[in-house]
Amino acid sequence: MIPQKFEYTAPKTLDEALLLLAAGAKPLAGGMSLIPMMKLRLAAPEHLVDLGKLKDLNYIRETDGTLHIGATTTHAEIESSPILRKKCPLLAETAAAIGDVQVRNMGTIGGSVAHADPAADYPAALQALEAKLALKGAKSDRIVAAADFFVDAFTTALQPNEIIREVIVPVEAAGTGTSYQKMFHPASGFAIVGIAARVRKKAGNIALVRIGVTGLSNRPYRAATAEKALEGKLGSATEIQNAAALVAKGVDANSDLHASAEYRRHLAVVHAARALMTALARTA
Amino acid sequence: MKIRVTINGKSYSHDVEPRLLLIHYLREVVGLTGSHVGCETSLCGACTVELNGKAVKSCTMFAVQADGASVVTVEGLATDGKLHPVQEAFWNEHGLQCGFCTPGMIMASKQILDRTPKPTEEEIRHGLEGNVCRCTGYQHIVNAVKAAAAGAGK
């Protein structure tokens, strides 16, 4: 499995990389999705710009109550980051559920999110966290909400000459519990269905619920109806089941040889209940 | 494209095509055939090597990406004819049958122990998720990692 010929550049600075992208080159981050596609010749870029060595895109920082994660930060770095484990544990837990050790050592958050595989893990967390994405091109710099970023399978709001510069997530407020629950594809580790849940309790009641869903349809989404069903409640097992039952309602579920649409919808309900239950238990 | 890579402590410089995969570079250009090509689709882990201290699948990486990096393959583990503790443990615990997956298993096991010197069985199995073995049923491999962990520091 030899990819088609291509030219390769490893620029030293982000500006240099953006100029090459503006000239039509394709970005290479960790390569965990792009390289397999190139080997199968499903992708045949003529020029690859390696962003993997750009130090100015690899960071995890906190400023003014938000966390900023540089695009080339690897899943392993996110999974093991003390600051994320403490202040945004949902993202660290999600990173730990991706692929395997070797994939997490190479794969990057920017690469995964930009690729927008419908079975990728991060999109569920990004929806539940109401994350923002900073996108940068040679002449542009803009912020897009995760809710608007994912357009369809493998299709995002990114312009051809833009890359994700960083992912912006909130510092979790006190009293918030989070959880990511997925059905692993046994060979690839991708999410057949993945549910990210955030639950915040205030004075004994559930004050906020956010549910992000990936794997079920072409586009990751927030299950707003299910969220509303649980807000203001105490969080009994029945209330959680009732809310979870709504996560897949009205969604055009994908069907493939791994899981039928009906089975995927069933998995979504089961994993939503698990994620909500676990998140609720972690509010204490 | 000219690349310079340190492999098992020795510096190499070659002119390679950008599309050459790291595994093919190691096996065919450098001549280190210890790392194996199994599935070639980044699932089986037989090609696992260490890149700047991190276990990676060398079939899913271009050699040019390793320019300037330090790579360790299974050939680089033994020193002065003495096996690495993980290799020793695989031997003692019979952590292999046909041996095809073993170089990758050993590199992945080394990563587990580098990060978690005293892993639980769950941590060992989680750490080996990227490596497939068709023969052993994994039990002896898990035992080998446990034995290596217990033996270290003795």
First to last CA, chain B: 46
Residue B51 sits in a domain whose CATH number is: 3.10.20.30
Q: Are residues B65 and B101 in the same domain?
A: no
Q: Please answer whether residues A78 and A167 qualify as being in contact, where contact means their C-beta atoms are separated by less than 8 angstroms.
A: no
Cβ contact B67–A189 (<8 Å): no
pLDDT of residue A284: 81
Domain ranges, residue B56? 2-76
Residue B108 sits in a domain whose CATH number is: 1.10.150.120
Question: What value does the mean pLDDT of chain B take?
Answer: 96
Report chain B residues whose CB lies below 8 A from the CB of A10.
64-65, 67
Q: Which of B42, B76, B110 is the last residue of a domain?
A: B76
Cβ contact B42–A4 (<8 Å): no
Nearest to B60 among A35, A52, A187 (CB): A35
Q: Are residues B116 and B72 in the same domain?
A: no
Report residue A140 as tokens.
Answer: 């542009």
pLDDT digits (tens, 9 = 90+) for B28-85: 999 999 999 999 888 999 999 999 999 999 999 999 999 999 999 999 999 999 999 9
A231 in helix, strand or coil? coil
Q: Does residue B124 carry a pLDDT above 60?
A: yes
CA distance B137 to B134: 7
Q: Are residues B67 and B7 in the same domain?
A: yes
Q: Which of B23, B53, B76 is the last residue of a domain?
A: B76
Region A36-51: what's the mean pLDDT? 96
Q: At what angle do helices A261-281 and A237-244 cross, to 10 degrees?
A: 140
Q: E strands, A171-238, where?
A: 176-184, 191-202, 205-214, 221-222
Q: Does residue A123 carry a pLDDT above 70?
A: yes
Region A262-278: what's the mean pLDDT? 98
Report residue A14 as tokens.
Answer: 């982000």
CA distance A242 to B97: 50
How many residues does the structure list for chain B? Answer: 154
Tell me if chain B has a CB within 8 Å of the CB of A8. Answer: yes
Q: Which of B76, B106, B130 is the last residue of a domain?
A: B76
Report chain B residues whose CB lies below 8 A from the CB of A97.
none
Tell me if chain A has a CB within 8 Å of the CB of B58. Answer: no
pLDDT of residue B152: 62
Q: Does residue B127 carry a pLDDT above 80?
A: yes
- Cβ neighbours for A256, distance < 8 A, ≥ 6 positions apart: none
Bridge partner list, B84: none
DSSP character at residue B138: S
**Closest residue in chain A to residue B44, using alpha carbons only:** A187
Report residue B150 as tokens.
Answer: 């217990």
**CA distance, residue B117 to nearest chain A CA (Å):** 16
- pLDDT confidence of A1, banded at 50, 70, 90? confident
**CA distance, residue B93 to nearest chain A CA (Å):** 23
Report residue A194 as tokens.
Answer: 């993945």
Q: Are residues B134 and B69 in the same domain?
A: no
How many structural domains are present in chain B? 2
**Closest residue in chain B to residue A190, using alpha carbons only:** B43
Question: What value does the mean pLDDT of chain A take?
Answer: 96
Q: Are residues B100 and B135 in the same domain?
A: yes
Report residue B32 as tokens.
Answer: 């280190």
For an interface test with B, which of A32, A101, A103, A106 has the most B Cβ atoms less than 10 Å from its Cβ? A101
Report residue B99 as tokens.
Answer: 């041996």
Tell me if chain B has a CB within 8 Å of the CB of A37. Answer: no
Q: Does residue A75 carry a pLDDT above 70?
A: yes
Region A143-152: what's the mean pLDDT? 98
Nearest to A10 among B56, B67, B108 (CB): B67
Q: Are residues B45 and B107 in the same domain?
A: no
Tell me if chain B has a CB within 8 Å of the CB of A41. Answer: no
Q: Which amino acid is at A220?
A: P
Cβ contact A103–B57 (<8 Å): yes
Q: Are residues B59 and B91 in the same domain?
A: no
Q: How many CB pairs under 8 A join A and B?
A: 77
Q: Does residue A201 carry a pLDDT above 70?
A: yes
Cβ contact B56–A4 (<8 Å): no
Cβ contact B57–A102 (<8 Å): yes
pLDDT of residue B66: 98
Give the percent of chain B with pLDDT over 90: 95
**Closest residue in chain A to residue B49, using alpha carbons only:** A102
Separation in Å, CA A71 to CA A27, A117, A133, A166, A213: 12, 17, 10, 5, 22
Cβ contact B45–A31 (<8 Å): no
A17 versus B153: which is more confidently predicted? A17
Tell me if chain A has a CB within 8 Å of the CB of B43. Answer: yes
Region A227-247: what's the mean pLDDT? 97
Q: Are residues B71 and B98 in the same domain?
A: no
- Cβ neighbours for A96, distance < 8 A, ≥ 6 positions apart: A75, A79, A104
Q: Are residues B45 and B100 in the same domain?
A: no
Tell me if chain B has a CB within 8 Å of the CB of A189. Answer: yes
**Closest residue in chain B to residue A32, using alpha carbons only:** B60
Q: Does residue A214 carry a pLDDT above 60?
A: yes
pLDDT of residue A187: 84
Domains delineated in chain A: 7-50 (3.30.43.10), 55-170 (3.30.465.10), 177-281 (3.30.390.50)
pLDDT of residue A78: 98
Q: Are residues B62 and B94 in the same domain?
A: no
Q: Which amino acid is at B107?
A: M
Q: Are residues B44 and B22 in the same domain?
A: yes
Q: Are residues B107 and B54 in the same domain?
A: no
